[in-house]
Amino acid sequence: MARLVEVTRLTAIRTNRGELPGHMTDDDDPSGPAVPEFKRLVRAVTAAEPVTAVCEQMTGAERRAAAGTAIGTLVGQLTVANSIGFDDSETLAEVCCAVAAMLVEWWFSSAPMARREFTEAWKQHAFGHREAGLPSDGTNALALLLGALLHNQARQDHVRVEDLRPLVFTRVLPALESPERAGAVLAAFVAPPHTDTVSVPIKRYTRGNPRFLAELCLYLSSALTVHVKDCPHGLRESDHACTLAHRGPALGQNSGAQVASPTPEEGLRVALPWVGFHEVEPAEDAPAGHDADHVWQINVDRIVMQRWDADASHWNEAISEDSSISEPNYRHEVGLEFLCCPACGSHGPFLAEGSWDDPLTLHCRCGVTMMSPLDARPDDLGRHLLKRLILCEADPAYAARRMLAPLAELREREQRAREASWYRGPDDEDVAVAEAVDLDRGDLAAALTDALKPRLPKRHEGRALTLLLLQIREALSSPSVHDSPDGQHLTEAVHDLLTDLKDESDRWAPTREPVVDRLRTWQTEGGPQLWQDAWARTLAMAERYFARNRVGEGRIADGCAGVTLAQYLLAREADCGVEQITADDVRNLTLPSDKQEADQDPAPVMLRFAERLKALGHDLDAADDPVARLWQHLATDRATGTFGDQRAPALTLGLDTLLGDRSFYRVRL
């Protein structure tokens, strides 16, 4: 019975251009001979319900009535097909699903973070994937639901498959606001038969998982909202009714900002590129001496913008999750670049237009106008950018003045970091930049150019210091800015910051010394032959395990020094060579000697070391004894962790790092 209904339904779809006649599904449709039982089964097949179970709930008479209708309908459909053939042209359902798939892909391309968030949400339904056989790519589910809603809207608006240009996407938003309504449309949607491997499991899963259906509706609502917001025809219109005719080229090319269809009234318009871009709102008010509604027209050669890169973020995430990579090559996610015209790719010059607090209008020499929406929020990128351009036009020195606040903020963060227990000196990349800038050169902009080697107008990535210095270099490149009092103030502030970084780097230079070099320095301080033998054995071990390590917080170097001291102590007491001392022998020196020391208090360990060294004839306060000098270093208290104020001797911390039960290294001599 189930197979008979499925074949009859498929044949009807083939002969009716992808649709099902109303008399096969609608109980209120009096046309046609279909009995209610047959309609019930057809609706069950369409909704991907368990048709066999539905059949089992019917009586024998009901099944015979449904079978009679199915056979009669099938014979009629085959007779028509035999007479005029099947129409293989694209159906309305196929076109709607294709448009929906393009819109979803456009959304993910223009908003990479949205793709990432949806992927994470989709993974939460992993159990459903296995049970329901859902496709691995969740975009199929989004496209199917949106295709069903677009198809339903097209039929209501009498939009033909031959011309979908007048189809208004936002007409489906009310259905998306009600997941129950959207689910009903999806269940009744006659999806193209060739999509059964996708549509059937998705329909089944959404029917039994309201939360999943609500998530799909939420993501599609966001996609449609962004889609309409970026429509060039609606940039200056609130509640714009975006149609397929307006956004067809953008969908086909999977791009977030495309040139609109030219019209005599509007010309060529594109949405201002905004994905990932960041612009801080100016702290200053509108320039004095101008009316609030004064329309500015500003010629700018180029516009430097800060942008976050989603591709770099994905790269870093993939590396962090790959345990096989021992030295991850992370990329900088934030960079500077020149604003680019989405139509011609030009980086300028541009003509900026607008009043204070207006959305930005930016004209490119190719004839295209970049716009931010008229109803954009006060924190819109275009509004902030226009304010910056206006302030620079009224007073060029503002370009230097605006850099003072982020420069002071960066220096304050650095000072706060120096007070933390985890601080081990300035970042190596920042130090390299500071040392590369020739502060004795009279022209700071030229010195920054030589040091940074800007890749602008192409993207230049880097840490916060690098990006800030690039912006400062861009500002000071103009003589009117460089020679102004604000420009000189900015120059002095940069000098102070870089000088301070160099001084701090010099103070922490010993921590950047390779561990092996630090050990060799201690070895060259002399001492008895057994002491030298212990150092030689420790150095051989360090070259195996720590050839690439730097001193840093000192745990590894102190651990190696502790191993040397322990080898010497045990070899002297046993009157043997250091080669007979094992790692377990060294480890036993730090173990508790009785149950009262089970809390691993380092004081008894230090006391045992001191007493046994004194028994060997060492004055631990002597300045001319290499063994005593190393003991004085290892007896100094160090911070036990990144957070908190607890401290412990360098000897016990170092030995625990190399030989402790939870040691990452567990070295062997």
Cβ neighbours of residue 546 closer than 8 Å, sequence gap 6 or more: 515, 516, 556, 560
pLDDT digits (tens, 9 = 90+) for 331-346: 999 999 999 988 888 9
State the greatest distance between any 2 C-alpha atoms of the chain, in Å, as a whole number. 115
Is the per-residue pLDDT at 70 higher than 70? yes
Asked if residue 233 has pLDDT above 70, the reply is yes
Q: Mean pLDDT over residues 557-574, rounded?
A: 94
| Mean per-residue pLDDT, 594-607 | 68
pLDDT, tens digit, for every residue of 145-184? 999 999 999 999 888 888 888 888 888 989 999 999 999 9
- 532, 578 Cβ separation under 8 angstroms: no
By mean pLDDT, which of 52-61, 166-175, 596-605, 630-639 is the weakest?
596-605
Average pLDDT over residues 439-450: 93
Confidence of residue 595 (pLDDT cuts 50, 70, 90): very low
Residue 130 predicted with pLDDT over 60: no
Beta-bridge mates of residue 460: 336
Task: State yes or no: pLDDT of 48 exceeds 60.
Answer: yes
Q: Residue 56 pLDDT more than 50?
A: yes
Percent of the chain whose predicted confidence (pLDDT) is above 70: 93
Sign of the dihedral defined by the CA atoms of residues 168, 173, 179, 181, in that order: negative
Angle among Cα 279, 280, 283 to the nearest 5 degrees reads 145
- The predicted pLDDT at position 532 comes to 95
Question: Burial of 469 by CB count in 10 Å (0-12 exposed, 13-18 middle, 19+ buried)?
Answer: buried
Q: What gap in Å lies between CA 651 and CA 441, rounded to an integer?
A: 47
Mean pLDDT of 93-103: 90
Assess whether pLDDT exceeds 50 at residue 321: yes
Top mean-pLDDT range of 120-124, 159-163, 647-651, 658-662: 647-651
Give the CA dihedral 30, 35, 36, 37, nearest 10 degrees: -160
Cβ–Cβ < 8 Å for 371, 364: no
| Burial of residue 341 (number of CB atoms within 10 Å: 0-12, 13-18, 19+) | buried
Q: Are 325 and 319 in contact (CB under 8 A)?
A: yes
pLDDT, averaged across the chain: 87
Asked if residue 371 lies in contact with residue 360, where contact means CB atoms within 8 angstroms, the answer is yes
According to the model, what pLDDT value does residue 263 have? 47
For position 593, what pLDDT does the model report? Answer: 54
CA pair distance 657, 634, nearest whole angstrom: 14
Task: Average the pLDDT over 520-530 and give the result.
Answer: 93
- Residue labelled with tokens 């001492």: 527
pLDDT at 403: 96
Give the pLDDT confidence score for residue 632 in this predicted structure.
95
Mean pLDDT of 577-596: 79
Q: Give the model's pLDDT for residue 14.
A: 86
- Flag whether pLDDT at 358 surpasses 60: yes
Confidence band, pLDDT 50/70/90 cuts, at residue 431:
very high
Query: Rounded mean pLDDT of 502-516?
Result: 89
Average pLDDT over residues 193-216: 88
Average pLDDT of 509-537? 92
Residue type, 114: A
> Using 50, 70 and 90 to split pLDDT, how confident is the model at 255?
very low
The one-character DSSP state at 267 is -
126 has pLDDT over 70: no
Q: What is the mean pLDDT of residues 197-222?
A: 89
Q: What is the pLDDT of residue 256?
A: 43
Residue 261 predicted with pLDDT over 60: no
Q: Give residue 264's pLDDT band: very low, low, confident or very high (50, 70, 90).
A: very low
Q: Is the pLDDT of residue 617 over 90?
A: yes
User: Does the pLDDT at position 235 exceed 60?
Assistant: yes
Q: Are strands 277-278 and 361-364 parallel, antiparallel or unpaired?
A: unpaired
**Stated pTM of the model:** 0.67
Q: Which helix (H) or strand (E) holds 299?
A: strand 296-300
pLDDT over 90, % of the chain: 48
Q: Residue 276's pLDDT is what? A: 86
Confidence at 598, pLDDT banded by 50, 70, 90 = very low
pLDDT for 151 equals 93
| pLDDT confidence bin for 234, thresholds 50/70/90 | confident
Query: How confident is the model at residue 189, as a pLDDT?
Result: 93
Region class of 319: left (phi > 0), else alpha (psi between -120 and 50), else beta: alpha
What pLDDT is recorded for position 296?
95
Are 587 and 659 within 8 A, CB to CB? yes
* Residue 254, pLDDT above cutoff 70: no
